[in-house]
Chains A and B, each alone.
Chain A
Amino acid sequence: MSGVAGQTAAKTDGWEPKIVAFCCNWCSYGGADSAGMGRFQQPASARIIRVMCSGRIDPLHVFNAFLEGADAVLVTGCHIGDCHYVNGNDKTKIKYKYLENVAHELGIEKERLQLNWISASEGEKFANFIRDVTAQIKKLGPSPLKPEGVA
């Protein structure tokens, strides 16, 4: 973590954070598709990883993303009550509390780990979410966990 200060100072206006966004197949991934279909422009910061249900998102995936260099990790799924598999997202919600605690312990700012429920039709919401998170992360600068030299 020694390089943090230097990296933060080195950030420029052109710096684009790298955000890993986990999306469930049925809702939030569809929301990202709808953002495309509606041409809702957004910063080129997010890299989406599709899983079938948000319930599949494992702390292992989230923290590996941080260790590999993610400036933020997004956990997304269907609105509560709308999960394709009845209630996978209820379990995500519970798990997310644990993720938040561990992230806090690791000194990861809360803006870097975010949970959002986005339906398959909420393209604009998806785009706004990416825009908001990107703006927040640009203020914070690169993640303190980002290994040296990772792009």
Chain B
Amino acid sequence: MSDIKGTENKSAIPKDDEEKRVGVFVCECGVNIGGVVNTKAVADYIGTLPGVKVTSVNKFTCSDSGQADIQAKIKEHNLNRVVVAACSPKTHEPTFRACIEEMGLNQYFLEFVNIRDHCSWIHMWEKEKATEKAKDLVRMGVERSKLLEPLQASEVPVTDKALVIGAGVAGMQSALDLADMGFHVYLVEKEPSIGGRMARFDKVFPTNDCSICILGPKMVEVARNKNIHIMSYSEVKAVDGYVGNFNVKIEHKPRYLDVAKCTGCAKCSEVCPVEVPYDFNEGLGTRKAIYVPFPQAVPLRALIDMDNCISCKACAKACESKAINYDMEPSYTDVNVGVIIGAVGFKTYDPEPRHDFGYGLYDNIITAMEFERLLNAAGPTGGHVVRPSDCKEPIRVGFVNCVGSRDKNTNIYCSGVCCMYTIKNAQLLKEKRPETDHTIMYIDIRTPFRGYEESYNRSRNLGVKFLRGRPVEVTEDPVTKNIKVRVEDTLTQEMRNLEFDLMVLATGIVPNEGIGQIQQLLKLSKAADGLLMEAHPKLKPVDTTIDGVFLAGCASGPKDIPYAVSQGSACAGRATIMLKNKKAITEGITAVVNPDVCVGCEVCISMCPFQAIRMDEQAVKANVVKALCKGCGTCVAACPTGALEQSHFKNNQILAQVKNVFKFQEVAA
């Protein structure tokens, strides 16, 4: 025991003689805090603590008047420490740091106590306990604040280049905007062509314009732009460094041909004897082992799918430009960039494993993505929607909405786009073949945004039927292969037995393959839906908690195309602030070695994931390289002698909080 207490001398700090004059500002956050916590009682109690010179309760401490109150009281009471008891430091600490800094106080003299998210919001019906807890939390903060030391935030230079990961419509937009502002962009796309999902659609809601006709020119624009370096069929393998200075390793998967020589003529495909399901068509139809991804692909170059190649070498003979090289290995490029935009998109929910609504059991049930490809004039059937069992064009088509969405057995969230794309798809087929009959089975129809409700009305006018209910039983007629559905019309409360020639599942938006790897490489969080998390759902929708890393498009939640494009532009705008200023501010929090105490055991060196600790020239004392230290404090907790401290999270500061969880002084008195 004694040695545990004994290690307290770890926290030996230089004497700070100035008297601590603490001001405490308790926020009511409207009724968010004030409706539960008795803020006045908290302020009154805190006012009795030694060193607290003034307390104040504000309706909204973050408002202009709230901040003015802080500044006035700093002046009036000559405060040298400020405690704000309000919401979360994760969102509001910068506001108050700037507020006190304006008054000449070091910004690290602010202590932020969370009495909303961690108190009033989670004890809504226990007002007294919440008030007592708030008192504890603020007391902890006050005692910590007295031990805070001044620090300097550091400025880091920003390399004026950007990396965009994922070249769907969102990532392309980011790349174009940044390039047009004069910054060099590396655009990394894991597929052999840029374009993302949108390249596969026939038409896009709500206006039903031809998808590739609007996307194609954009893809070409990206390719032509001198500031954009497309790295297709490539993946990010390692990310090192920090805002302003990320070192990124990119792997280029071998295409088994020289892209500089290949002209995309596809003569090789003509002679290749191997046929495999065509991934771009959702596995419908076939492609060859050597193929050009699709006619509008950018770059328009072939590649060999080595998994299926039988090495007959027919393609090498057919290729006039002698581009084929069967021995190609992956190659790598290292780039240095100042900012990173993640736009890795999504994939659609896979109904196969659970056989949702009979998918995978019966031939004539397909997904919406498959339907999109069938509708597409460039698709496997030249734009004829046929059913898989007999390649006949269906008359009666059923659509099931919310497959893999709004379902506690799969995903509880709404994928946002499925109502609209189902309406679109029913409309498109109805227009092509007016004799067809369409029934959309839905939970709710959601049509926000301009033109969406109008599109819904249009489909009704065309004769598309809407049935509110989810199929409870789906079977197949063994002879006709038609799909039989039992479904309750929940508006009339009647059980209906319907028969369709083809049924289409509106599968939802789920995280893309490899999103976990991107998350780990960029050090991001995932939200409850498994997609990447933004810094703040309202106010920082394209920022992340990692400085210099931004998110656009479906990578951070289900979105339609206009929303994804807006986010692409938003990311470019946010990133430009750093790229243009050529500098970014980073936290001043680092590890610090006390050379008088360090015995040179090197334990800390093995702890640091960033190789920020080195031995000094005589190899007797540890040295923290400030520019490399990210201030996690792991080395500090490991140092056996107490020579290491973490600024702003020093042992004495943390222990002050620990001690003040409890009210022992009072009871003892």
Contacts and interface: CB of A to CB of B under 8 A. Distances in A.
B609 A151 contact: no
B632 A149 contact: no
A10 interface: no
A64 to B, nearest CB: 5
Given A52-B589, A55-B633, A91-B638, A44 B123 contact: yes
B542 to A, nearest CB: 17
A49 B143 CA distance: 13
B661 A47 contact: yes
Which 5 A-B residue pairings sit nearest by Cβ, starting from the closest? A36-B117, A55-B634, A56-B633, A85-B632, A53-B632
Contacts of A58: 636-637, 651, 654
Contact of A149 (B121, B140, B523, B664): B664
A106 B520 CA distance: 38
Given A55-B634, A82-B525, A95-B637, A44 B129 contact: yes
Contact of B664 (A20, A59, A84, A147): A147
Contacts of B5: 64, 67
Interface residues of A, number: 58
Nearest to A56: B633
Contacts of B116: 36
A147 B632 CA distance: 32
A12 B578 CA distance: 57
A44 B633 contact: no
Given A36-B118, A121-B526, 6 more contacts: A44-B132, A49-B657, A52-B632, A61-B655, A86-B610, A151-B663
A100 interface: no
A39 B124 contact: yes
B497 interface: no
A120 B534 CA distance: 11
B658 interface: yes
Contact of A88 (B123, B527, B634): B634
B545 interface: yes
Which of B610, B657, B661 has its CB near the most chain A CB atoms (within 10 A)? B661
Contact of A120 (B10, B129, B533): B533
B88 A41 contact: no
A86 B654 contact: no
Given A41-B124, A149-B667, A47 B117 contact: no
B649 interface: yes
A96 to B, nearest CB: 12
Given A30-B525, A44-B130, A56-B634, A64 B118 contact: no
A26 interface: yes
Interface string A56-83: 1111110111011110000000000110
